[in-house]
């Protein structure tokens, strides 16, 4: 866990470039954590079933997360004038990860990479790495994000949103620099 925290600290602070090995370790740690969570949920569902509670576990499909992400951006773009200032929270904003973002720490290299380069994204099959990253970098560019999105964020959530957006833009820029 210490290596993952160090890799996250480097990515978040922008100090030095992450090595390929550090990125691979961070990605592996992410996948292991995701699998542990899945196992805990399956065990909880099995336990509930033994007690007579029956429900189907729901794992969001990538296509749903991608559609929701694009829909949130479209809503911000089209209905910005109708949105009340200082009302949105961290969880209501679109983040380029499949997980539900309740904390900026959820936004990791592995999560952003998996989302941005997912083949289910619209037009992904015909796009280069640069073509996939450029629109995302523009969405989270500090000048644009801070002037267009931040005024819509509730004051209690501004710090978390700023940390998350900063992390996203640093990770996207890092992805742009890596050979693929």
Domain boundaries, the chain: 2-177
Write down the mean pLDDT value for the chain.
Answer: 81
Nearest CA to 67 out of 115, 31, 128, 101 is that of 115
DSSP-based three-state secondary structure for 153: strand
| CA 128 to chain centroid | 20
Is it the case that residue 142 has pLDDT exceeding 80? yes
Confidence of residue 2 (pLDDT cuts 50, 70, 90): low
Nearest CA to 92 out of 100, 84, 82 is that of 100
Determine the angle formed by the axes of helices 158-177 and 109-116, rounding to 10 degrees.
70
Q: What is the pLDDT of residue 139?
A: 95
Q: Give the mean pLDDT of 104-120.
A: 93
Q: Over pLDDT 90: what percentage of the chain?
A: 46
Q: What is the pLDDT of residue 55?
A: 53
Could you tell me if residue 107 is left (phi over 0), alpha (psi between -120 and 50 degrees) or otherwise beta?
A: beta
Q: Give the mean pLDDT of 171-178.
A: 92
Q: Give the mean pLDDT of 133-161.
A: 95
């Amino acid at each position: 866990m210490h290596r993952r925290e160090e890799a996250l600290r480097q990515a978040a602070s922008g100090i030095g470039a992450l090595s390929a090995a550090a990125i691979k370790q961070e990605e592996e740690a992410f996948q292991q954590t995701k699998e542990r969570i899945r196992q805990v949920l399956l065990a909880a569902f099995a336990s509930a079933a033994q007690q007579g509670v029956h429900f189907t576990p729901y794992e969001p499909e990538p296509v749903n997360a991608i559609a929701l992400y694009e829909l949130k951006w479209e809503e911000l773009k089209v209905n910005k004038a109708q949105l009340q200032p200082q009302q949105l929270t961290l969880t209501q904003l679109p983040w380029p990860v499949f997980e539900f973002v309740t904390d900026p720490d959820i936004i990791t290299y592995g999560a952003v990479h998996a989302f941005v380069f997912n083949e289910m994204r619209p037009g992904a099959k015909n796009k280069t790495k640069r073509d996939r990253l450029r629109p995302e970098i523009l969405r989270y560019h500090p000048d644009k994000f801070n002037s267009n999105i931040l005024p819509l964020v509730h004051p209690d959530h501004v710090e978390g949103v700023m940390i998350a957006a900063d992390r996203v833009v640093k990770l996207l820029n890092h992805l742009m620099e890596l050979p693929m």
